[in-house]
Chains A and B, each alone.
Chain A
């Protein structure tokens, strides 16, 4: 088995040998930085989802209250007041809309006059969902561009879906977490990798020098020396 080729300079040999563990460490640190940043983003994102669902459920309760007394969605006056109150209560709530049981938008409150497009299929799918457990409303959340969208069913006294609440919430907060945590984590990774590189290179350098010394001795030793073999 070839142990070492003396034609290769020590520096190049050390770089080759140290490159392998350091490449592994670099990939580990890179993935770790990415995964940890995403974990933090997810932690904040879950809290944002929770908040938007809570806001939507407050409007849903008002709409369901009206539906249970037989008041059609279009005739509910309290709904508009509640929508305004909710919009005022949270500056990041961008759009709040009430859709009827055919998916048509009845009422919209929005902050900047730019109501995002909503796929009618998404609403129709939600309307088609059968009643689930009584305590849980059927809700669908998704992220689009920089917003969290939540659709929530509002049911009447018979359990039939009478309306759908649509809330759009700015998700910059959770995205900012990723953007704010990743750079320091990457820089930390680079610094840690530099430290690891020093230690690994020193260790590998010792091994290479020991090999060269050993081979140097062997080159000058007679082949008849006891213990020499192929």
Chain B
């Protein structure tokens, strides 16, 4: 069998497997509909009865004081109001005792033809109600006035309330989205676990199958196997810069670091969907509004996260990778475990601050270590591992955390988050390669270097990069994700679950592109074009959202902003470290990284504040437009400020400029 036929056969097999999975999901949805539909219809029936009773009491009150049912004023507005409040109801109809129409109010979802058909059919309503086409009709008699001979008051009319029998099918869009989210989460979780745990047999077997499929007829297979445990992009990022003897251990360390980052980021993301609600249910000052009660613990977390960035690098040098990472993950776990037990709002602030410091510590330690492990020409790809882990956690965490909080409560969700952080702590203790290699720095490390601060502040290109590119990007991201999209979506009448899925588009866009941009950035050894493209795509996201001004506009805003920021993310941080290292011997790339992250995070913290100010001034659409203008100006200013910074296009594995070579070798030396 030729290679082409083998590939075609395996592709067909994979296609059949995917189709089978899709069919399995469809079967699952069908079973859910079959099992759930009677329960939902029962609930609808009870709601209709309650609504009918409430309306009956009002109508009977009017009739009991002598007003005829057909003379009651304001029936239709009341029915319209009820229809707006109770979206499950499709129509209300009021008939008098002679079966004449008094009022008929239907949901706008019903077409005129459907309404006409219903009106004809409703006249044959039996006393127990009926099924009229796709609707079930509940019948509520209106009886008031002096008692008749039999003892009960005469019937004055009848109120009919219709609800759809296929109400459960109207949730089908949400159900399909649920299934899509399930697939996405499963793929991400399995992929992340495989990257770490699949260093053994499974990954090798699949690599072998892939090689077999691509093997030309008659060719003898190579005896040297693929490097275990890591995806090809991970392998590539170090293969060109390191001796092969160290490569396996380094790859293992990158995989372990990625898992540590994923778990710690997951521990934070698990809490995201319910933390704000949890915060304002605790015992805080009554003078503060719910939004402020929810916001202060979040701000405490963000601030300690920001301030942990410059301190992190110094701590890493003084105490070593394993101790720092496991300590920071332990702090995160301790904060989350203590949060399980507290019901004081003040304690929550302190614990969020503690967790923020631990969380920020893990992130900055991991970034600094990945920069060392990535070497000179693989930095962007090494950082892409970090970004991908954080984004994967951002996509899985909120959904799983929401599920846990809904079904088992916030306490258990905090417990699961703490378990993730604890697992990360134990994994971090095994980072031996990095630990050994940094011996010289461990002894002389300082927690915060003023020289590094001075160097950073006095570096015009670095400052320009921070002020014109990093801060606007982070600011726009937080403003859009935390304020504009949620508010815009609610203003358009969509539910918070729609908002959650819109936000997922940002992370999906980011996840899809960040690895590609990092790989290309390293391959061509250029960063500025990526930063420019990312800035322009981010700005375009805002302009497209303004132009469309609809749900599709918000989709474009989230998706394109995610794509834009993904182009920028890794190249930007690599350029920042390269700029500072190019200063010479006194330069300190890792410390600059910490300061850079500090400024960036503070910029991010400004996002919601700026968004609130822009919304107050120009409304939601104006705020989005304002952010677009800010990003465009930032992009232009970055290009102008970095116009003298030269970037080469060297062959893979070598650096073009002497300055960069020097900076790179400094990092190489540390690692």
Which A residues have a C-beta under 8 Å from some C-beta of B?
1-5, 13, 16-17, 19-21, 23-25, 27-40, 43-44, 47-48, 50-51, 54-55, 58, 89-90, 121, 124-125, 128, 135, 142, 173-174, 176-178, 180-181, 184-185, 188-189, 192-193, 195-196, 199-200, 203, 206-207, 210-211, 214-215, 218, 223, 225-230
| Alpha-carbon distance between A32 and B28 when the two chains are bound, in angstroms | 8
| Alpha-carbon distance between A51 and B53 when the two chains are bound, in angstroms | 12
Indicate whether B403 reaches chain A with its CB closer than 8 angstroms: yes
Report A-chain residues with C-beta under 8 Å of the C-beta of B219.
227-229
Contact indicator A27/B28 (Cβ below 8 Å): no
Which of B28, B205, B281 makes the CB contact (< 8 A) with A29?
Answer: B28
Contact indicator B178/A121 (Cβ below 8 Å): no
Report A-chain residues with C-beta under 8 Å of the C-beta of B222.
1-2, 230
Indicate whether B467 reaches chain A with its CB closer than 8 angstroms: no
A159 CB, min distance to chain B CBs, angstroms: 19
Given contacts A19-B202, A32-B178, A37-B32, 6 further A-B contacts (CB under 8 A): A2-B207, A31-B186, A32-B179, A50-B47, A210-B212, A223-B220
Contact indicator A34/B224 (Cβ below 8 Å): no
- 25 pairs across A/B with beta carbons < 8 Å? A1-B226, A2-B207, A2-B208, A2-B222, A4-B208, A4-B212, A13-B205, A28-B25, A32-B25, A33-B28, A35-B179, A35-B182, A39-B174, A43-B168, A47-B46, A48-B43, A89-B50, A124-B286, A125-B290, A128-B286, A185-B31, A188-B28, A188-B31, A189-B24, A230-B220
B96 CB, min distance to chain A CBs, angstroms: 25
Annotate B509-544 by CB proximity to A: 1 below 8 A, 0 otherwise: 000000000000000000000000000000000000
Contact indicator A2/B225 (Cβ below 8 Å): yes
Which 6 pairs, one residue from A and one from B, show the smallest C-beta to C-beta distance? Answer: A227-B218, A2-B225, A31-B182, A27-B186, A40-B36, A192-B24
Closest to B88 in A: A47
| Alpha-carbon distance between A227 and B220 when the two chains are bound, in angstroms | 8
Indicate whether B204 reaches chain A with its CB closer than 8 angstroms: yes
Which of B47, B220, B281 makes the CB contact (< 8 A) with A229?
Answer: B220
Indicate whether B51 reaches chain A with its CB closer than 8 angstroms: yes
Report A-chain residues with C-beta under 8 Å of the C-beta of B46.
47, 51
Contact indicator B13/A54 (Cβ below 8 Å): no
Contact indicator B21/A28 (Cβ below 8 Å): yes
A78 CB, min distance to chain B CBs, angstroms: 12
Indicate whether B407 reaches chain A with its CB closer than 8 angstroms: yes
Q: Assuming A34-B403, A47-B43, is B13 touching A203 (CB within 8 A)?
A: yes
Contact indicator A228/B6 (Cβ below 8 Å): no
Report B-chain residues with C-beta under 8 Å of the C-beta of A195.
20, 24
From 261 to 316 in chain B, residues with beta carbon under 8 angstroms from any chain A beta carbon are: 281, 283, 286, 290
Q: Assuming A39-B178, A50-B88, A227-B216, is B27 touching A192 (CB within 8 A)?
A: yes
Indicate whether B150 reaches chain A with its CB closer than 8 angstroms: no
Indicate whether B44 reaches chain A with its CB closer than 8 angstroms: yes
Report A-chain residues with C-beta under 8 Å of the C-beta of B183.
28, 32
From 86 to 125 in chain B, residues with beta carbon under 8 angstroms from any chain A beta carbon are: 86, 88
Q: Assuming A24-B190, A36-B179, A230-B220, is B35 touching A2 (CB within 8 A)?
A: no
| Alpha-carbon distance between A215 and B211 when the two chains are bound, in angstroms | 13
Contact indicator B403/A180 (Cβ below 8 Å): no
Most B CB contacts (10 A, CB to CB) among A35, A58, A125, A174 go to A35
| Alpha-carbon distance between A196 and B10 when the two chains are bound, in angstroms | 16
Report B-chain residues with C-beta under 8 Å of the C-beta of A38.
403, 406-407
Q: Assuming A17-B206, A38-B407, A196-B20, is B39 touching A44 (CB within 8 A)?
A: yes
B285 CB, min distance to chain A CBs, angstroms: 10
Contact indicator B27/A207 (Cβ below 8 Å): no
Closest to B81 in A: A135
Report A-chain residues with C-beta under 8 Å of the C-beta of B217.
227
Contact indicator A1/B28 (Cβ below 8 Å): no
Contact indicator A2/B17 (Cβ below 8 Å): no
B270 CB, min distance to chain A CBs, angstroms: 15
From 199 to 248 in chain B, residues with beta carbon under 8 angstroms from any chain A beta carbon are: 201-202, 204-209, 211-212, 215-226
